């Protein structure tokens, strides 16, 4: 018996445990001080009433013989997949119901999709980015190529014709940088993928934050993407489902490699290894896409975006370079006075009692940068920004 040796190549993730330890120490040393956490990528507003009502109704149905449901439809209930297709139609993207797969969130699907690709493929991953892309490929022993996000390209790296990649990860709006690709930029990626026979794994977990109508919210708004891209989305940030769990993945029928439909492969994978999402949660998810649901969640998103705007204004006044903060809940700032990510973390906590996330935790190119988020109450954000203005950063 041998373990998977690739796990030995994973770096231990100390990011959030180190943050928790430092915050605990600070709290013990400063008992009267109210700590404000602007580092967490989790939502703070509750589920919409229309969502909880739909789930309560579904619970009642499950308790009655006449309406009880057992195993559900393999790709997710038709009512939910139709609602998702309707949502895409509003983005001018036509999807077939059997191109949509309901899952328990983007993280699982982003990791599990790798089952359908050969271990010999190389992968191209932005740096910095959401760490799951790299870790899931390290576990599978794949060769990783990095694309550099930096201040020069506004953390939106574009294709390099000298690099040939089989699988490409794109995340827009990006976690952690908040940067959003334009249609013209995504078109370059689609052209590159078609030319090189690559597959783009497009993570649109934060698409709902995009307010600028000229920016894409789905890669399928780019011509040709249906031949080279899989899209992952989630209700986690869209509708506060981080604790409820529901997402979806789109695999178009036109995505063919080695003469085989990737939609068929993914269906085979999911029906073998995935049990689906509960009826109750899928009814809640369906309600997200109802008229009332969309109005409510969009209001919640505006609330987080207003927080991000307050943070952005403060950074602008303090002459601190940043990206994101518009069309995204994330603000990615350059640490003042050339501090490292952790130096800035320590000084910010010590001088202001505000907690953020060191950029180095998202890849080597994150060193010297720092992520703060709009996921908090308005009062906390205002108070934190007052401390930024008066404290030493
Ligand atoms: N993709 C990105 C870029 C994320 O930041 C996150 C969560 O923070 C996810 C995917 C995972 O979301 P889910 O809760 O749907 O698994």
Which residues contact ligand 1 via a Cβ below 6 A?
41, 105-107, 130, 171, 175, 203, 205, 234, 236, 242, 247
> How confident is the model over 318-342, as pLDDT tens digits?
999 999 999 999 999 999 999 999 9
Q: Is 269 exposed, middle or buried (0-12, 13-18, 19+ CB in 10 A)?
A: middle
Q: Residue 392: its pLDDT value, please?
A: 81
Distance from the alpha carbon of residue 351 to the mean position of ligand 1, in angstroms: 31
Residue 210 has pLDDT above 90, yes or no: yes
Q: Residue 14: its pLDDT value, please?
A: 78
Residue 316 has pLDDT above 90, yes or no: yes
Residue 145 has pLDDT above 90, yes or no: yes
Name the residue among 256, 239, 282 with its Cα closest to residue 74.
282
Residue nearest to atom 3 of ligand 1 (CA): 175
Q: Is 203 exposed, middle or buried (0-12, 13-18, 19+ CB in 10 A)?
A: buried
- Could you tell me the CA-to-CA distances from 81 to 69, 101, 281, 293 in Å, in that order? 17, 8, 13, 16
The pair of structure tokens assigned to 48 is 């919409």
In ligand 1, which atom is closest to the CA atom of 203?
1
- Mean pLDDT score, 152-156: 98
In ligand 1, which atom is closest to the CA atom of 175?
3
> How confident is the model over 246-280, as pLDDT tens digits?
999 999 999 999 999 999 999 999 999 999 999 99
Name the residue among 148, 250, 161 with its Cα closest to residue 198.
161
Distance from the alpha carbon of residue 288 to the mean position of ligand 1, in angstroms: 18
Distance from the alpha carbon of residue 370 to the mean position of ligand 1, in angstroms: 19
């Amino acid at each position: 018996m041998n373990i998977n040796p690739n796990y030995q190549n994973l770096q231990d993730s100390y990011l959030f445990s180190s943050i928790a330890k430092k915050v605990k120490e600070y709290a013990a040393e400063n008992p009267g001080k109210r700590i404000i956490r602007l580092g967490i990528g989790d939502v703070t507003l509750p589920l919409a009433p229309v969502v909880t009502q739909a789930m309560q109704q579904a619970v009642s149905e499950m308790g009655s013989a006449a309406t009880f449901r057992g195993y559900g439809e393999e790709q997710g209930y038709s009512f939910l997949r139709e609602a998702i297709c309707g949502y895409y139609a509003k983005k001018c993207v036509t999807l077939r119901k059997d191109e949509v797969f309901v899952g328990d969130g983007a993280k699982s699907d982003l990791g599990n999709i790798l089952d359908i690709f050969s271990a010999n493929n190389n992968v191209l991953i932005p740096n910095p980015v959401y760490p799951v892309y790299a870790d899931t490929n390290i576990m599978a022993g794949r060769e990783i190529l990095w694309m550099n996000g930096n201040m020069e390209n506004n953390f939106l790296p574009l294709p390099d014709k000298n690099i040939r990649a089989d699988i490409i990860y794109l995340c827009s709006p990006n976690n952690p940088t908040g940067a959003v690709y334009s249609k013209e930029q995504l078109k370059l990626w689609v052209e590159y993928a078609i030319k090189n026979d690559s597959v783009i794994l497009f993570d649109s977990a934060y698409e709902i934050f995009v307010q600028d109508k000229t920016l894409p919210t789905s890669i399928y708004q780019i011509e040709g993407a249906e031949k080279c891209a899989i899209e992952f989305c989630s209700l986690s940030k869209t509708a506060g489902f981080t604790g409820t769990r529901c997402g979806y993945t789109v695999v178009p029928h036109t995505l063919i490699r080695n003469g085989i439909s990737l939609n068929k492969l993914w269906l085979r994978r999911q029906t073998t290894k995935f049990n689906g999402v509960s009826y109750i949660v899928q009814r809640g998810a369906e309600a997200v896409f109802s008229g009332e649901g969309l109005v409510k969640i969009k209001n919640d998103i505006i609330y987080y975006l207003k927080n991000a705007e307050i943070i952005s204004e403060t950074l602008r006044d303090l002459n601190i370079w940043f990206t994101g903060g518009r069309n995204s809940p994330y603000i990615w700032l350059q640490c003042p006075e050339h501090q490292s990510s952790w130096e800035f973390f320590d000084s910010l906590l010590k001088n202001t009692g505000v907690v953020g996330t060191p950029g180095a935790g998202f890849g080597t190119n994150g060193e010297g940068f720092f992520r703060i988020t709009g996921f908090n109450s308005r009062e906390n954000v205002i108070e934190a920004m007052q401390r930024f203005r008066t404290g030493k950063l």
